[in-house]
Chains A and B, each alone.
Chain A
């Protein structure tokens, strides 16, 4: 059965010229923000945890700097680079150029201005106050959140219109994920940023907030990351995905299951037991789509594993796949009540969130960027050695970050269960006085030191990456962005 839309077969022999300036407009600035966001993270790791308040001040303490790190990494790096890669692969999978280059340029400009102002205003007290919803409604007279919504709508229009005029009748799985991301991001962002005030204050609002927080991970970052991996792994390996049917099953099961799990952030909290149990059950069911992804990606590289040694891009994509497995095994297990009792609110969770956003989705983006740069410049990267160092430093740095945080975090949870325990209130008070909370904080110092060192290793590795990209590009860079 031909997949080319009958009315379009006449153009199938014409060579399509893809407009990649929107890719560059989003990609190059996002790489700078990768370094800035990670540098802020390293600063926090040392200044808040290893040498607390060495640089003290109203604008440098954890409460002011952490939202900058989170906002720059999630918005100015990860979502932005994913948008860049969408600008690259959506037209290519559709077989047509992007619908409107001018709309893309206007969108990208609005995106950057809004987010730069919004994120860097946090140290000056503009934080809206909710997890991953820190962007303020206004900075001065600028309606930051509203402008961001407009930018996303314009981006969505361009993507949808591009897919609508595609050459191929049926959608490859990356296009399924891309289209779904557009809708899910709009819904999720709206619910988390504009409707919190519509529910009663207190635990109901927290409930809504964690629905938003987890849907950011599951219905925004996950489909974006998987869309990218499903395109770049087979494309770079020059081997079709192991099973497209399996990937579609994974897509629809994510659509069905993911929205139900948000309340697992409040296990043992002051919410109803049925809501906790519902979130736990759906968290366990998430093993189904995760398994389709892992089986598919590893299956694609079957008979192609020699490419792991020869291509840094494949290494990043497959290491990202491994971290996807790790974080998606952690997640459902962390939802179980007895596991949650130990791990919740500890540094184990910090490891978990960084395995997801850094280990998985950032690694996917790195893999995609290598291929994208090589296609746009029509030549290999400037230095294969730097690519290898980039992978090596990120690989070892990531292990140095994740393993200590998991060990230390679990130990932290064990200390807390001993500290805050007792058959009656008297025993509970006695236990508290024997191990003050601050002792459990002090017990983490060594693991935090390892985490901080890991941050330096990762930061240097990514600086090498940027240098490699810079040398790979011609000096037409600035003219090409116009």
Chain B
């Protein structure tokens, strides 16, 4: 039980940290530009 609580808490913190990391890296700025990426290839 102890390790389940530790594990699930660690996973949650990892999720929140990853959200903050990508936020700071600018991945969620000007989000609408990204949707045109798939039309860049020649296929």
Contact = CB atoms under 8 A, between A and B. Distances in A.
B6 interface: no
Contacts of B37: 3, 93, 95, 168, 172
B31 A245 contact: yes
A476 interface: no
Given A171-B27, A248-B28, A240 B33 contact: no
B19 interface: yes
Given A3-B33, A172-B35, A248-B31, A95 B41 contact: yes
A336 to B, nearest CB: 26
Contacts of A3: 33-34, 37
Contacts of B4: 199
Interface in A171-199: 171-173, 187, 198-199
B27 A170 contact: yes
Interface string B1-23: 10110000001000100010000
A345 interface: no
Interface string A75-112: 00000000000000000110100000000000000000
B29 to A, nearest CB: 7
Nearest to A300: B35
Given A170-B26, A199-B4, A92 B34 contact: no
Contact of A235 (B11, B26, B33, B38): B38
A95 B39 CA distance: 11
A187 B12 CA distance: 12
Given A170-B34, A231-B38, A248-B28, A375 B15 contact: no
B24 interface: no
Which of B15, B19, B27, B34 has the most chain A CB within a 10 Å cutoff? B34
A255 interface: yes
A482 interface: no
Interface of A: 1, 3, 15-16, 92-93, 95, 168, 170-173, 187, 198-199, 231, 234-235, 238, 240-241, 243-245, 248, 252, 255, 375
Counting from the closest, the 3 A-B pairs by CB-CB distance are A240-B35, A244-B35, A245-B31
Interface of B: 1, 3-4, 11, 15, 19, 26-43
Given A92-B41, A95-B37, 10 more contacts: A1-B30, A93-B38, A170-B26, A170-B33, A172-B34, A199-B4, A234-B35, A244-B35, A245-B31, A248-B28
